[in-house]
Each structure stands twice: as structure tokens, then as C-alpha cells.
Structure 1
Amino acid sequence: MTRAPRRLLVAVNPSASFGRNRAVGPAVTERLVAEGYEVSELREANFELLRRETQSAFEQGTDGLIVVGGDGMVSLGLNLVAQTGVPLGIVAAGTGNDLARGLGLPHDDPAAATEALVEALRRPPQVIDAAIVQHGELRTWFACVLSAGFDAVVNERANRMTRPRGPSRYTIALLRELATFKPLPYVLTIDGVRREQKAMLVSVANSPSLGGGMRIVPHADLSDGLLDVFIVHPLSRIGLLAVFPRVFAGEHVDHPAVEFVQARRVRIEGADVVAYADGERVGPLPVEVEVVPGALSVFA
């Protein structure tokens, strides 16, 4: 049975998926209004303005925040609703859509995602973990993966590229970086245990995938109260190139250069590495990451 109408904020990224999904936001609002919800739709000319307007509207009170777009919009929403008890709804209309994938929501069909949201609004919200990354004085929430190695370097390059439009941009950036990439020296402190090592890649995962379905930690659980540290030990470039296709399918877990460590708190130190959380730039290392069990309510 449908619940009584409630107030919902719908924040729309008009440039999600390079603007191909501009019609999705209005369609979501129309569908929710037809269901009897009181809906305030927020859309602005740029992301920072949208973030500010959404924060202002959120502070005035709402029963749910719906984000329409990709993982950038999920990040915007998560950093407003974490630990508030206000649920987050996702209509995946971006390029990566990794949290939608992790939650089993439609991630490549906005119309199906809209219908899944309508159904989810009729049920109690699901509670999942989120993680907080401390970078200097800044604290940022993320739900999927923090990258601090080869994948972060690739992200830096991919974000500077304007073509091609779509997930293949990440693959092309990956191949270009591979030509010159070498293992990086790290100091990792995992639940208080310090280790110095070189690695190709260090990531901290709360959910299985990043980069639009690259299943780096296929066994990651969004509600186990733990993070999964993913380390790729030094490899030749050819070796790294051989591993990456298996990563997309989650078939790399038994590779001898791959290591997984579960943890509640992780500190990552290293020179000349910029960390990314859910595809959003955090800043140069060091960073500290901590899981917060049950920090996020979601309509899923």
C-alpha cells in the first residue's frame, strides 16, 4: 500500500552523462508528483551552485533527497544526508553509477530507475555503511571506493579529457597512463598496523565497483561494518595490462600480485598521489579513511 505523501527534494545534474539525459530530471519529478509526493526540484547551471542550493533546501527540512545523475550526484547527496537519518534516493543517469550497481538498482535505464525508486519509496529505507575520508582539515563522505594509486592517476587524466563521451574515456586514459606508470612507494597504516611497501594500486572499498562497473572488490559488502583495502603489488606494465581486463569482471581475486585486507580505519601516505573518492577529487595524500556503520539510509 502506498504511504501518505511526503516531501521530497529532487536534485538534478543537467550535464549527467554529458547531457544525454537532460529529460530524466523533469520525468522523475512528474512521476513523483503523480504518486502524490510534494516535490521540490533543484537544478542549476553548474555543480557547485547546485550543491549550495540543495544544501540550503535540505536544511529547511525534507523526508528524502533524490539525486538524478551519476556518482558525482550521489556524492553530493551523501555528504548532505550521512548520519541525519534522511534517506537518499538514486535515479542513475550518469556515466559510472557505481552505488546504484552496488545496491542492485537499474544503472543503465533511467526510466527503470525511476520506477524502482517509486517502488522503494513504498518500503522502509535500507541502512548501509559509508566511509569518511579526512584530508587535512576536510572531511568527505564516500559510499563506494577511495582510489590512491594507478586508478587515481587514471581518474586524473580521464577527468581532463572531453572525449570520448562515456565509460570508454576511462579505458583510454588507463592505456595512456600505462605507458609510463611505475610502482609507487606507500606507507599504509591498517587498523594501527604500519607497513611500508611499493604498489601499483591502493584502494579502499565499501562497495564492489568503481569507474562504471570495474569490480575491484567483488566481495565488498555495503553493510558489514568493514572496508576492504585492495592492493596490487608491483608488476611490469605488461603484467598490469594483463590484470586489468580481469578486474572489470571481478576475476582478478586469485592473482598472486593482488591482496585484500579488511579494516575499519586506514591511513595512506605517499608522494605525488592524488586520492579520489567515488570519482571526486579529494586531494594529495596523506588521507585517513574510516568506516561508519549504518551511516546512510537509502531508498533501495
Structure 2
Amino acid sequence: MAVNPRAGNGAGARASPEVVHALRAAGHDVNLVQVDNPVGLRPQLASALARNPEALVVVGGDGMVHIGINALAGTAVPLAIVPAGTGNDVARSLGLPTGGKPPAAAASLVRVLRMEPRSIDLGRITSAGSPDVWFAAVCSAGLDAVVNARANRCSWPRGRAKYVLALLRELPFFRPPTYRLSVDGRETNIEAILVCVSNMRSVGGGMLITPGARYDDGRLDLLTVDPMPRLKLLTLFPLIFSGRHVGLKTVHLQTVSSVSLDVPGITLFADGEPVGNAPVDIAVVPAALKVFA
């Protein structure tokens, strides 16, 4: 079991003892891996997974899930999630309860561990000279990525409010860049203010940026939004919370198998974590991960 004690302003630390107790009471042998810096979990996870456990349980937010899927993608070891972060978009998309107190979260975990794990698709990001990076939810490459970077630097407020505040701070300075895209082999250049490649529905604590995305259809959803005046963009974001932006003339959505993307000056984010700069190739890998949900 891997824990980020700092997730959700300490929610991970509060949930951990309850989860360990519930797992042991249910007859599971628990090997607890916990460090303050989630990146430090990677070598410990590699050592733990070499012993072929029945599952990897991650306690934390989307950042912990991101570490978990990159440790497990393509293996037979399934992932289980105890949502204890700020956004929890992966858990939410999988239908797991979020926002519950530690006893409820522990009980929910024990219940799903009695089920058969199911297979879900993942996105895989490939770039020259770097290891492949896997993502479960969304890869962002526009204003959405810039907002994510600022939100990650904020400890307050929590949830959606953090991303709204980050948007208001970044919007006055953002200039829509030109993207070079190759979508399933078709090349195009576009200017855009939002660009994301999605395997799941939401980002930023429940914003339905690609409401039709499914994690088991062997496809990714590519969303691009045309440049627009800042005031108009501010009216767009409330629609994204409920998915009502889909169908607007400035919003373009298509399902794809792969996207090659190049854009200057923007760090890409996947599952809320920085994953490097373009150019990158992004492709769906069907049934790449087993998950309890």
C-alpha cells in the first residue's frame, strides 16, 4: 500500500491507519510504503512489486494514481484507489466514492477488493530520449496545462476553487500558441487556447472537459478550443463544469487513436502531473491496466 501523507492537506495521512486496519482485518498482508515526496515512492514501489503482490493500493490523489499506473501499466498486478487528494478525477471517473471519511473509504476499499478487477485503457506519452509516461485521465497541453501548473503550487483553496483561482491568475498573461498536430496520421497546424487528450471525463476536481470520454472503448478524445477574447473565455469555463461546452462553434471534439503534438513553451500535464515538453506522441493502449472499481 502506497500512501502520500500530504495528499488533500493531510487526508492521506488521516486515512492510512484506518485503511491498513481494515485490510488486515479482512485477512490481507499489508506492506506499507510511505514517503513525504511521492517521487521517492518509485524505487520503493519497484522493489515491492518485484514480490508479485495481489494488488497495489494507493492512498492519495491523482498524483498518487499517476505513480501507481506508471508502476503497473502492462503488468498483471491490479490497482486499487483510496481517494484522498484534491481533484480525485480518476477515482470519480471510475465511479469510486470521493470525499468520504476514513472509515467509509476503508470499507469501500475492502468491498471492491472482493470483486474481480476490470481492465481499462490508458494513454501512453512517448518522447525522444525520455521513458514512456502513462496516464489514466487527461493529458493537457494548453491553458489547461498552465492553470494546472499554478494550481499545483497552491495549498489553498481545495477542489475546484483552486483551479478557478489559478485560471483567473493565468488568463491575463496567456497567449494562444500554434500547435502542430498529427491526428491519426492527418497533419494540421492550429491556434488554440485549450488542447487536451482524454481517456476519462473530468479534470480539476470534476470539470467535465470531455464528458463522452470512456476508458474502455479503445479510443481517446481530442478536445481543442479556438482562441477567443478573455471575457468570452470566462463565460466558457462555467459550461465546462457541467459539460455544456460541447457543441459550441469554438469547441472541437473528436475521438482518435493517436495524436502527435508539438507546441513551444508549454509543459504538458497528465493526471495533474508535469510530464515534460513537446514534441510528443500520444496513443491509446487498450486494456493496459487492471483496476478494482
TM-score, normalised relative to structure 1: 0.94
The equivalent position to 1:24 in structure 2, one of 4, 9, 15, is 15
Q: Compared with structure 1, are the counterparts of its residues 127 and 20 closer, same or farther at alpha carbon in structure 2 (3 Å cutoff)?
A: closer
1:3 aligned residue: none
2:113 aligned residue: 121
User: Within 5 Å, which residues of 2 pair with 1:213-252?
Assistant: 213-252=206-245
Deviates more, 1:69-78 or 1:21-30: 21-30
Deviates more, 1:207-216 or 1:165-174: 165-174
The one-letter amino acid paired with 2:287 is G
The one-letter amino acid paired with 1:146 is C
1:287 CA displacement: 1.4
1:209 aligned residue: 202
Q: Compared with structure 1, are the counterparts of its residues 153 and 103 closer, same or farther at alpha carbon in structure 2 (3 Å cutoff)?
A: same
For residues 44-87 of structure 1, the C-alpha deviation after alignment (integer angstroms, 9 at most, x for no partner) is 23222222212211122211000000001101110111110211
CA distance in 2, matches of 1:251, 1:45: 39
What is the RMSD of the two structures over their aligned residues, measured on CA atoms?
A: 1.3
Partner SS state of residue 221, structure 2:
strand
Q: Which runs of 5+ in 1 are unaligned?
A: 1-9
Paired-residue identity, % = 46
The one-letter amino acid paired with 1:15 is R
2:26 matches 1:35? yes
The equivalent position to 1:174 in structure 2, one of 163, 167, 176, is 167
2:90 aligned residue: 99
2:67 matches 1:69? no
1:297 aligned residue: 290
The one-letter amino acid paired with 2:290 is S
CA distance in 1, matches of 2:92, 2:244: 17
The one-letter amino acid paired with 1:127 is S
CA distance in 2, matches of 1:27, 1:113: 9
1:130 aligned residue: 122
CA distance in 1, matches of 2:122, 2:140: 15
Q: Which runs of 5+ in 2 are unaligned?
A: none
**Alpha carbons 2:6, 2:36 under 8 Å: kept:** no
Partner SS state of residue 32, structure 2:
strand
CA distance in 2, matches of 1:61, 1:191: 37
The equivalent position to 1:193 in structure 2, one of 186, 194, 219, is 186
1:165 CA displacement: 4.4
CA distance in 2, matches of 1:50, 1:284: 23
**Alpha carbons 1:181, 1:237 under 8 Å: kept:** no
CA distance in 2, matches of 1:33, 1:20: 20
1:166 CA displacement: 4.3
TM-score, normalised relative to structure 2: 0.96
